[in-house]
Amino acid sequence: VPGILVINPNSNGEVTRGIAAALETLQGNGACRVEVVNLEGTPFGIESQRDVDSVALPLAERVRQESAAYDAFVIACFSDPGLFVSREATKNPVFGIAQSGMLAALALADRLGVISILATSIPRHWRYYRAIGVAGSVAGDEAIGASVAELSDQERVGALMMKTGRSLVGKAGADALVLGCAGMARYRDWLERELGVPVIDPTQAAVGLAQMTVAVRSAK
């Protein structure tokens, strides 16, 4: 059975569990198993460019080591750390969730809104939207503005995401939303129903693209 390895490049087990839960629904989706792992020795959260750059080589190294064991890889952090170096480390396809999430959303809509966690990530996101050629389709990228204390309070985070999503749809004119972080899929369905536009969990998008790619490549 072919397999996809989803790597969470932070050390926050709760995020890893959130990712794994979000991918449950895709497990049946394919003759390929999907496994989610933590990359050890990484920051608790990817919050700065330093955090992003610090996990690039460890990610690529993990991808290199597992290259024979898995048919595709997903890097589960919305900054797509180490995406291009990981692609050098294997002949198998490597998907970044930011890139995949934005592209999958564009298959359903024209102008994307991104719900980010931290305001400090937004300039980095925009640089990346430009790099991958989708900036012209981004209506807005707004942070939920949670304090560190609030981030562990799911209800509070949900309320802030709803408020941010409403602003992106109502004011910035977004016709689809992308969750700008791994591990937030629990809010997807609720946001989608309340706001009336597609809401994309980027990890699910990347795994979906990986499953399609693996299935197609396995056939022959």
Contact present, 3 and 71 (Cβ < 8 Å): yes
Q: How far is the CB of 150 from a copy of itself (least distance, A)?
A: 23
Interface mask toward a copy of itself for 129-168; x: CB under 8 A: -xxxxx-xx-------------------------------
Is 99 a binder of a copy of itself (CB under 8 A)? yes
Q: How far is the CB of 48 from a copy of itself (least distance, A)?
A: 6
Select the residue interacting with a copy of itself from 70, 73, 128, 187 (CB under 8 A).
128
Inter-CA distances, 173 with 123, 133, 162, Å: 20, 20, 15
Nearest to 97 by CA among 214, 203, 24: 203
Contact present, 82 and 75 (Cβ < 8 Å): yes
Is 93 a binder of a copy of itself (CB under 8 A)? yes
Q: What are the phi and psi torsion angles at 164 (to 5°)?
A: -65, -40
Contact present, 7 and 97 (Cβ < 8 Å): no
Select the residue interacting with a copy of itself from 17, 45, 67, 87 (CB under 8 A).
87
Inter-CA distances, 184 with 4, 19, 171, 179, Å: 20, 8, 23, 7
Is 104 a binder of a copy of itself (CB under 8 A)? yes
Is 216 a binder of a copy of itself (CB under 8 A)? yes
10 Å Cβ neighbour count for 98? 28
Contact present, 49 and 124 (Cβ < 8 Å): yes
Site for a copy of itself in 64-83 (CB under 8 A): 82
Is 218 a binder of a copy of itself (CB under 8 A)? yes
Site residues (CB under 8 A) for a copy of itself?
Answer: 24-26, 28-32, 48-50, 52-54, 56-57, 60, 82, 84-85, 87-89, 93, 95, 99-100, 103-104, 106-108, 110-111, 123-124, 126-128, 130-134, 136-137, 175, 188-189, 198, 201, 204-209, 211-213, 215-220
